A and B are shown apart, each in its own frame.
Chain A
């Protein structure tokens, strides 16, 4: 079974000469459909860089990244933007909703940017909001919502349009424990429904929701647990 996200020997170097910082050093990493992978590690270990490169917001210095079989390195800015609209969804710690747009409009944003009609986009957005359990808040502005509600909107935005790769960067960081658990439950459910998820977190208990945990330190993978889950999935697919 082909992975949804595949990073091969990815290196990312910031700066030049004496100021050079190696954020990632030859990392290889995969996430398959139905799999939630947690990425853990101390600050500066390269977790966030991994996520920005996986989403095409940044380019690796060396190595390749492919999403659903498409090499991001072979795409221009336009092409990578299209991938984010159609294949990759982001969830951030700070929610990153646009305060000037309603919940439904925030969720509909990738679809509208993709050029489908505003009416159709809004319909899809309502379905997505229903899926994350806040369909009734569709016309509220972010400033009038709680943190948990905002993050649900953000998840709805990340899954709209049948996107199969969800990249979540500390999605529970700004939430209380209970709400945080609910959000992770949502992410887990999306992955069980067929998406591939990458969850950057520094809390071990959140990693418990993942099928696999990858530990990073100084830009290299130092440990990986639960790889058997992938084997099970692969075998399942082969059958």
Chain B
């Protein structure tokens, strides 16, 4: 009991001292608060935006079913088992799938009423993807069919102007659709394209503008049922009113194969014990994601602790004299420790609370901005208090952890040395770097295992290796700082002073260097991962045409004149070249041709982007690229009435001087293929310059004739260039044709903008963290070194010497951090690139090290930071601080 009392009493004194100290050194306290506060603030604000953007089942009820009691949909099964919310929880099919014609049609209102009760109001709520005519062609929109005047639909749309459609010839559109063409009073021409290629048009008068409650930015229109005709998919969707639809009702509907989203059930979901095999789970986070998430949180915690560490070290040092006096008066090391830890408690709790408060404020401001970038509408503003409490606790824990090392170091100070005014720390431990090296070794092993591991084990092993390596690096930092400072003897004065001073004050320097190191390691690892993935995508890309070329595959029944007219209109002056080939899609079925040499089928790629796999002509067209000698040989064969088989540049196989050509036809009913014709022809295999050939074979008109096959213009090719807006115009114009031809523009591999953005964000984030870490360390060091700077002034240092010293500190801290961090980042970076980019068939991985990013981070950033620090630092030296 008395022990407890003395413990709590001890803490009370320690906390009081810490609070006073915090108020006394306001500048330093503000810095410490910022370091703890910022991450808490950022995470809190992000949590608010995330929770607000996320629409829960209950929040989403109105946008899913308006004011109705339930949304009922047909499934393609005679019986189903569902979770309370089938959209997020999923459903299972224990019974049989049923034929399409047996499924309840959208018009089968009576059948639904049979189950839910005849007196309930039921209305159709159909949705479909349709096209609408614009000046240039056809655009896409989402069509809703329901009776918006029916009260059960209240809340699905929010009227902006005009009215809801009173009759079947009228429609209401959203602003996004109105912006793309017709407005209120105009008519909307909706186009429904059927699988068989026919189209149906509906002219509807726009009577109002209304916004969908769920989505924004994408064109939407709503009209009465039947206004857009009927498509192939007539799956029933109905809104039901008239009192709560209970879980029992839901299960009764499930029995007849109907899927139900019920307001009453969502608001008060029943506890279920569903057989997981019957209902595939769609939500929940799996163990691996959870572990990786935990590792990410751990990494962030390490970074925050390391960034805040120097500030606590300096605070502890400022208290060293007091603590030594306390020790001289009989205080125990434990009391000294507690006094420093109490700083962590005070700063951590204030920082945590302040961070959450500011985070909420930023969240309020950020939600409308985030909504602007998102097409789905956010839910109501939501502050996840429990989560924010955890985040605030995170702030407290990080401050406490940041105070741990200084606290232990303070409790071990040599009292006599401190009271005697000697300012250094003892020599570093030998064991620490050895443990660090062991951990680094463990990180490498884990990374190697992870790189070879599958998709399930790799993330864990590699994330683990990242954490272990970073810890190892932190433990090695004191040794490296010591070693490098020993090399300083020949360095310029300011840098030498900075290096030696940094090495003398390890509790302050080590966390700063480690923070920079951890940042650089993270940037390098992620940079390698992102670049490698991009390299893998690039490696996998196969161009279909020479870069810049465009092709049009005409297909059966295409209106060639209309196509050419469109091309002349949007791409004038381009030498459009007709591609002659065998029309493999015929009324009677699909043609397939097999080439046999020496009794064995010749394996070829079988695809084409130019209308037909079998091109016919007397010479090789220029859009098929091959070496001059190969082209000469191929042209000779074709001129000679022969046949050329095309192989990709890397594919091997024997030549085929003579091949047998067999033509078969698959009829639409899917019966056995029918042999159509056979011929033998002089032939040759030539290699194209690309990994895959744009078509399997080129044949002379003579071969086609001998097979009795019709030769036609199967496609068009133009050399380009075609700009992206021209491509869009052509696509839109083609969209309006009865039979839409396939239009393709070869632009080569298009690097995903996201990769450049991610690399930029990585570099920027690295720069911010490095600048933050280096700045705090430097300015703390400068305030610590005030007496030394005063001495320098007294012996005649120029006023700008302080700037040089500041830049020297920044260069030392940033440089060592970057040099240590980069190799540590390579460990998980190289490892993760393997499973990330491994080709599912060949097993080949891609690796791309973004050297530019790494050089920028390792060399550029420390120099930039040093320059920035040098520029910001006050030049003037303290003059009379030490002259007694």
A residues near B, CB below 8 A?
Answer: 48, 51-52, 55, 57-58, 77-78, 81-86, 88-90, 92-94, 96-101, 105, 109-110, 112-114, 118, 143, 157, 169-170
CB neighbours (8 Å) of B880 from chain A are 52, 57-58
| B768-810 at interface with A (beta carbon < 8 Å) | 787-788, 790-799, 801
Q: Please tell me if the beta carbons of B795 and A109 are within 8 angstroms of each other in the complex.
A: yes
Known A-B contacts A113-B801, A170-B884; the reply to A98 vs B796 at CB < 8 A is: no
Number of A-B contacts (CB under 8 A): 93
Q: Once the chains bind, are A94 and B882 in contact (CB under 8 Å)?
A: yes
Cross-chain contact A81 with B796 (CB below 8 angstroms): yes
User: Is the beta-carbon distance between B794 and A48 smaller than 8 angstroms?
Assistant: no
In the bound complex, residues from chain B placing their C-beta under 8 Å from that of A86 are 796
With CB as the reference atom, state the residue of chain B lying closest to A98.
B788
Q: In the complex, are the beta carbons of A94 and B497 less than 8 A apart?
A: no
Within 8 A of A (CB), among B473-496: 490, 492-493, 496
Q: Given known contacts A93-B884, A113-B801, what 13 new A-B pairs fall within 8 Å (CB)? A: A48-B883, A51-B883, A82-B798, A83-B796, A86-B796, A92-B794, A94-B882, A98-B792, A99-B424, A100-B500, A113-B797, A169-B884, A170-B884
Q: Is the CB of A118 within 8 A of B421?
A: no
Q: How far is the CB of B530 from chain A (nearest CB, A)?
A: 41
Bound complex: CA A14 to CA B719 (Å): 85
Give chain A nearest CB distance to B598 CB in angstroms.
83
B504 at the interface (CB under 8 A from A): yes
- Complex interface: chain B residues within 8 A of A55 (CB): 794
B334 at the interface (CB under 8 A from A): no
- Note all chain A residues with C-beta closer than 8 A to B801: 113
- Residues in A neighbouring B882, C-beta threshold 8 A: 92, 94, 96
Taking a contact as CB atoms under 8 Å apart, the answer to whether B496 and A101 are in contact is yes
A99 to B789, CA, bound (A): 12
A141 CB, min distance to chain B CBs, angstroms = 8
B496 contacts A58, C-beta separation under 8 Å: no
Q: Is B840 an interface residue, CB under 8 A from the partner?
A: no
Cα distance, A105 to B865, chains bound together (Å):
27
Residues of A within 8 Å of B423, CB to CB, are 99
Contact A52 B883 (CB under 8 A): yes
Please measure, in the bound complex, the distance between the C-alpha atom of A197 and the C-alpha atom of B126, giving whole angstroms: 102
Within 8 A of A (CB), among B376-431: 421-424
Q: Offer 6 A-B interface pairs, CB within 8 angstroms, sorted by A.
A: A77-B799, A82-B798, A96-B791, A109-B795, A113-B798, A113-B801
Asked if A100 and B504 sit within 8 Å, CB to CB, the answer is yes
CA distance A93 to B879 in the complex (A): 16
Q: Which residues of B contact A78 (CB under 8 A)?
A: 798-799
CB-based contact A84/B883 at 8 Å: no
Report A180 CB to chain B, min CB distance, Å.
Answer: 16
Chain A proximity of B117: nearest CB distance (Å) = 88
Chain A nearest CB, measured from B506 CB (Å): 13
Q: Does B501 contact A (CB under 8 A)?
A: yes
Contact A81 B799 (CB under 8 A): yes
> Do B794 and A96 have beta carbons less than 8 Å apart?
yes
Contact of A105 among B424, B496, B798 (CB under 8 A): B496
Closest to B788 in A: A98
A84, B884: Cβ atoms under 8 Å? no
4 cross-chain pairs, A with B, having the tightest CB-CB distances, nearest first? A85-B796, A84-B796, A100-B500, A100-B501
| Bound: A114/B792 CA distance, A | 12
Please, which residues of chain B bring their CB within 8 A of the CB of A97?
791
- In whole angstroms, how far apart are the Cα atoms of A89 and B826 in the complex? 52
Q: Which residue of A lies closest to B498 (CB)?
A: A100
A23: min CB distance to chain B, Å: 12
Q: For B796, what are the chain A residues with a Cβ–Cβ distance below 8 Å?
A: 81-86, 88, 110, 113-114
Contacts of B797 in A (CB 8 A): 81, 109, 113
Q: How far is the CA of A136 from the CA of B793 in the complex (A)?
A: 27
**How many whole Å from A108's CB to the nearest CB in chain B?**
9
- Contact of A98 with B497 in the complex, beta carbons under 8 Å: yes
| Residues on the A chain within 8 Å of B792, using CB | 98, 109, 113
Q: CB distance B791 to A57 under 8 Å?
A: no
Cβ contact within 8 Å between A100 and B788? yes
Which residues of chain A come closer than 8 Å to B422, judged between CB atoms?
99, 143
CA distance A158 to B695 in the complex (A): 89
**Which residues of chain A come closer than 8 Å to B791, judged between CB atoms?**
96-98
Which residues of B lie under 8 Å from residue A48 when comparing CB positions? 883-884
For residue B492, which residues in chain A have a CB less than 8 angstroms away from its CB?
Answer: 118
A57 near B794 with CB under 8 A, answer yes
Decide yes or no: A110 and B795 within 8 Å by CB, A58-B879, A94-B882 being known contacts.
Answer: yes
For A101, list chain B residues within 8 Å (CB).
Answer: 496-497, 500
Q: Are A57 and B798 in contact (CB under 8 A)?
A: no
Given A78-B799, A98-B791, A99-B423, are A169 and B493 also a contact pair (CB < 8 Å)?
A: no
Q: Which residue of B lies closest to A87 (CB)?
A: B796
Does B879 contact A85, Cβ atoms closer than 8 Å? no
Per-residue A-contact encoding for B241-262, CB less than 8 Å = 1, 0 else: 0000000000000000000000
Alpha-carbon gap, A113 to B796, bound state (A): 7
Which residue on A lies nearest to B882, using beta carbons? A96
Say yes or no: A112 contacts B794, CB within 8 Å. no
Q: Are A85 and B795 CB-contacts (below 8 A) given A101-B496, A109-B493?
A: yes
